[in-house]
Each structure stands twice: as C-alpha cells, then as structure tokens.
Amino acid sequence: MPDPTSPEPNEELNTAKQVKLENVGALSRDQLTPEAAAAPEGHDVPGHDHATRDHTGHQHPAGKQVVNLAGEAEDEHAGHSHEDGDDHDHGPAGANPYLWPGVSLALLLSGIALDYYQAGFFTGYVRLLWYGVAFLLVGWKVIRSAIQSIPSGNVFNEFLLMSIATLGAFAIGEYPEGVAVMLFYTVGELFQDAAVNRAKRSIKALLEIQATEVTVVRHGQSLVLDPKEVQVGDVMEVKPGEKVALDGTLNTTAASFNTAALTGESAPQTKQPGEAVLAGMINLESLIQVSVTAAFQDTKLSKILAMVQDAVGRKAKTQQFITKFAKIYTPIVVGLAVLLIVVPYFVVDDYVFRTWLYRALVFLVISCPCALVISIPLGYFGGIGAASKAGILFKGSNFLDVLREIDTVVMDKTGTLTQGVFAVQQVQPAAGTTPEQLLRLVGALETKSTHPIAKAVVTHVGAAAAGVPVEGVEEIAGHGLRGKVDGRDVLAGNTKLLAKFSVAYPPAVDQVVDSIVVAAVDGQYAGYLTVADAPKEDAARAVQELKADGISKVVMLSGDKDSIVQRVARELGISEAHGGLLPEDKARYVQQYLGEGRKLAFVGDGVNDAPVVALADVGIAMGGLGSDATIETADVVIQTDHPSKIATARRIARATHRVVWQNIWLAFGVKAIVLALGAGGVATMWEAVFADVGVALLAILNAVRIQRMRF
C-alpha cells in the first residue's frame, strides 16, 4: 500500500495557511466575531457552511449535529458525529446512554438462558418478540440512520451494513446473534464517545480559561461586566487569584502571574509596569490594574481558541485517504457478500441458501470500517491535544504529518533564537575611568532618549543614574546624544558621533561586533558599552536536538547586521547563517531551498516573517512575542517562545504517525483474517463482532495512549 501520509507540501496545505478568527469550526455562537454571531443560525457563518464542504475539508450536512470541543452536541442529537454527517445518537439529551443497552443486554442474556434450558413458553412469536425488543432498544436508531442516509447518496456506510447483517440474521432465525451484533456495535459506539471526550479534555481546558466577567473602573466606580462589553482603553482591576480577562498593559507595580494555561510553563512570570499582560494569565499576589489594549475577539487567547477549534476540521492526508478508501471499500465488500451467496449456487453440489446467506452476513459485519474511520481521526486529535498541553498549537492534523517529514529548519534570529530584548553585555572604560563612573554618566544622558539601545543602558544602570542633573541635551540623528551631565560635557552614541566632534578613540573600537555605545567626557574618549540581544536559554539545545532528530540543514536568516548574526550562529552551533536581509531576501533563500527539493519549516516571530512563514511547508510562529500577522499565518504556534519546542513538536508528530499506522495495520490484519474465515464458514457472528467492534476498541485505546506519553 502506498504511504498516504506523504503530503505534497504546496498542494492542499497552502489552502489551509490562512486562519482567521471568523473561521472557528465548531465554536459556539457567543465565541464568534460580532459579524458571524449576527449571521442566521447555521448558515453563512464565514468558513463554516453546513450545507457544503468548506476549505478545510470538514463536512456537516444541513440539519445535522455539530459536536463542539466540550463534547456537547449543538442540536437535537446528543451522541457521536460520524464522518460524512452520519449521526448515531444513543438516547435523548440528558438520558443515561447506557440504560437501553443495559436493558437489551439483560434481555439477550435471559433469552440465551431460556433457549439453553428449552423453556416451553419460549418459542414462536414469544421468542421473536423477546429478541425483537432487545434488538430495537439498540438498533432502531442505526436502522433510522441507514434509511436517512440513502437520499443523500451515502448508501454504503456502517449503518447499512449493520442493518442488513442483523435483519438478515433475524430472517434466518439467528435472533441472539442479530441482537448481539447490534448491541456490541452500540456499546462500542459508546466507548468511542467516551474515548473522544477523553482526548478532548486537554483542549477543553483551553475553553475554560477565558474569564466570564471582568471588573472595570469607570469614572471612579467599579463595574462588573461581560468581557465582550469592555472597550480598548478601559482599566481592569484584577484581584489575587483572578484570571486576566483581556489583553492589556500593567499599570500598577510589578506583579507575578501564573501563565501555565497559555504557555504550559509552571514557573510564574513577573511583569513590570508597562509590560504586556495577556488574557488567561492568573494574578498571583496583589490587586492590580491593567489598561485594556485589545477587544475580546482580538485577544491572543481568543485567537488561540479559534486556532485550536479550526484544527479539528483540518484533516491529515491519512484521514482523507481512509475516508475515501472506506467509500470504495464498503460497496466492494457488499458486492462480494452478494457474490458469496450467488456464486456457490453454481459451483457447490450441496448448496444451502441459508448457510451461504449466513456467511455473507458475517462477511458484512466484519467489513465495517469503524476501527479506521473512528480511531484514525482520534489518533490525530490525541496528537493535537498532547501538543496543546506542551504549549504547541497545531492548526490542523495535516501539519502533524508534514512536520514529521521536514529535513530543513530555517529560523529568524531576533525573538526566535534570541530573547528579542537588548541588554548591556560588556562595559569597557578607558584608562583613568572606572566602570561605575562611565555607567553613571552615560546612563543619566541616555534617560533622555527613547531608542531601544538607550533603554537597555538605562535598565542596566538602574538607580545609579537617578538624580544626576542632566541639561542641554541634543539628539544628533544617526549619531547619538550630546549634553551636560553633572556639569560635564558628555557624548554618547556611535563612533560617527566621536568623529564628528574630533574625539580620538582606539582603532580596536571599530572591530567590536555588537551594537556599541561609545562615550566621551569633556572632549576625551571615556570608553564604550556593548549592547546585544542575548540567545534564549534553550537556543543552543534546540539546534542540537534538531540535528540529532534528523534535520540535515539548520539555517538562520536575520535582518540584523551580518557580523552579529555570524557570532550568534557560532554560539548556537549553526553552520549556515545570513544577515542584513530584507523580508524579500528571506523569501528568496526559502524559495531556493524549496527549489532544491527540501521540505522546510520556517520559524519566526515578526511581522516581516509572515510572508516567509506562509511560503514554507510548515510555518512556525513564536506565540508569546510574535506578531499577530505571523501567528495567524503560521501552521504551528509555540506559546512558550522556546525554540526547543520545535523538536518536541516533531516527537509528538512522529508518535501520532506511529500510533495511526499501528491502528491501520491492526484493523486491516484482523479483518483480512476474519473475512477469510467468514467466507469459509469458520467464523461466526461472534468472531465478526470482535473483528468489528473489538478491533475498533483496541484501536481507540491505542490512540488515547498518545495523551499519556511524555515528550
């Protein structure tokens, strides 16, 4: 069998690149954008048409149920939703789904006992009625589903096979076996529902981290509002232990937050005044105030939920293959079952119609593709759930397959491999000047600038520059600052500033690779500070793990100057790096690698990375520091901003692929054996039940195992 998991990277995947908040799959209407929520119920919701196939390949026929991630049906049906819109519910909403199967089982077992002891009354119509009630308790909805699916052209499905096989068993007097097949099929469906709900549990936790109310201070009064009613610019009050309802910036003193729901990291994060605070974080210590910077539907948490919901509808190549295969395979098996009845009439001397009809019915029961159609999507769903617990969001199961097959990883530098924050790395005073003196004078002068490098210097100097008198500050564009600090003339900027004012400095200063702040005091060179963006703690480990994981080419592309890029590359063990690039230059390199036949993932975080993220086979965005444009364009979002999660995502993708194919071969192997035994008259309905429901349950248990794996 050809490997159906080998995707053509630029075919169907590129149609699934763009994810918008409106395309939320099975989100409830109050989670939709205002425009979508205002649309007529069940129709014209962007990206989710109940009558036709949407761009994700996920279908729901008109009037059928849509099961949301909380495991709840959104209309009259309360059970499991099958492929191609076939619904199979297990009882009225709110009813115990095991009640009628339990009654049916009791009638079946008591009927078998009455048969065994040959009870005198248990014959004829009494026996038929007894088993008929047991059958209808579990089978009438299956028969109804089979009949309802015929007008839509979906004839050859599991419901039709179960109906024909069990009604046929009744027709030839095999009542107990007919009841048993339908009973075990129904119980198997119930176990499947339970397994699906378990697999959804980690993703359902995401749905529960949105705050349902928020305290807002308006005109000196505290108002408790729905987060959807809060406007950008409002000030929220968040008590200790409360969830932050909306994205914003911290107004009050430094505060600690539990960010595990967003990042998967247990260690608290401390935010300083003016820093970003995101919806879903939990305030740990004191009462704080946060200025709202994003409306409810625009928060990163809302977009994360939309991404996860949307991922459910995006099928992997394996899922698409199995769905198409089942539609071809099922009618073929039905045809073979008919031939199994007809052909022996012409070739067997002692042909008995009842015997060959029974074999054909066994053949039909075995042929049901439940184990494949149910357990394969569940395997992928388990992979998405396991990834979400690790702070990695896949926007579709198709990207699990593609990420497993990449051989090249191209990464941005700033914010991806480095922290994205400038910090003073080195203080080098001139002879006769102490580091403390240099920092005090330069730090005081830099307080008058808003440049990122100036802010880094001020942060590093801290209180040492507080209260130092600064006057007559002049900012010289492209050069730096000039002013009087504590009564002394101070220059702070690049070497062009010193040259402009004819201040001599050592030639070695020109060889410094990092960004540099050179200083002069009273016309004399006073030393320099280097400012750089430090690599993330796990950046070097991330590169090592990718190489050990079979990635043959790791590349760093950056808009930063090439000398800095090459130094960072050497520190991290990256052999190929290019600096001084514009967005179109990055795209050119990626196109070159793709042209060489490589399967490529690009990892970035900035707005300028969005085009390259879209171009790659798999686009990966850093979700904490990343821009909204890049996150929306990406196929995979790493919420923790840790590049080492790329290797973790690949391990999850491989484990998912392994489990999915274990299920495929298990189902095919067992069914092939029992089909042959059934055609030869060796296997009975009981073996057929195992080949169908038993294998499905084994495959489901194997798929659920992904949730328990450690990555």
Q: Dmax of the chain from CA atoms? A: 120
| 418 backbone dihedrals φ, ψ, rounded to 5° | -110, 170
| CA angle at 510 for the pair 506 and 513, rounded to the nearest 5° | 130
For the beta sheet containing 515-521, the strands, ordered from the edge strand earlier in sequence to the opposite edge, are 418-429, 524-535, 515-521, 488-493, 480-485, 470-476
DSSP code per residue over 457-478: HHHHHGGGGTT--EEEEEEETT
Residue of 234, 310, 401, 412 marked active site: 412
The Cα 126–Cα 606 span in angstroms is 75
412 in catalytic set: yes
* Consecutive H or E run containing 290: strand 288-292
Burial of residue 415 (CB within 10 Å: 0-12, 13-18, 19+) is buried
| 423 backbone dihedrals φ, ψ, rounded to 5° | -150, 150
Token pair belonging to 556:
């760093």
DSSP code per residue over 217-270: EETTEEEEE-GGG--TT-EEEE-TTPBP-S-EEE-SS-EEEE-HHHH---S-EE
The separation between the first and the last C-alpha atoms of the chain, rounded to the nearest angstrom, is 30
The Cα 187–Cα 183 span in angstroms is 6
What is the CB neighbour count within 10 angstroms for residue 480?
26
Nearest to 559 by CA among 412, 700, 364, 456: 412
- Residue that has been written with the tokens 């790493």 in this structure: 638
**For the chain, how big is the Rg over CA atoms in Å?**
33
The Cα 134–Cα 175 span in angstroms is 10
- Residue that has been written with the tokens 């080998």 in this structure: 6
The Cα 585–Cα 558 span in angstroms is 10
Nearest to 31 by CA among 242, 287, 317, 309: 309
Displacement of CA 601 from its chain's centroid (Å): 16
Q: Is 606 helix (H, G, I), strand (E, B) or coil?
A: coil
The Cα 404–Cα 513 span in angstroms is 37
Q: Please report, as a single letter, which amino acid is at residue 533.
A: D
| 125 backbone dihedrals φ, ψ, rounded to 5° | -70, -30
Q: Please report, as a single letter, which amino acid is at residue 631.
A: I
66 phi-psi bin (left φ>0, alpha ψ -120 to 50, beta other): beta
What is the CB neighbour count within 10 angstroms for residue 285?
14
Query: How do beta strands 515-521 and 524-535 pair?
Result: antiparallel
In 573-692, which residue ranges form alpha helices assigned H by DSSP?
A: 583-595, 610-615, 628-633, 645-679, 685-689
- Side-chain-side CA neighbours of 101 within 13 Å: the count stands at 20
Displacement of CA 682 from its chain's centroid (Å): 46
Just list the catalytic residues.
412
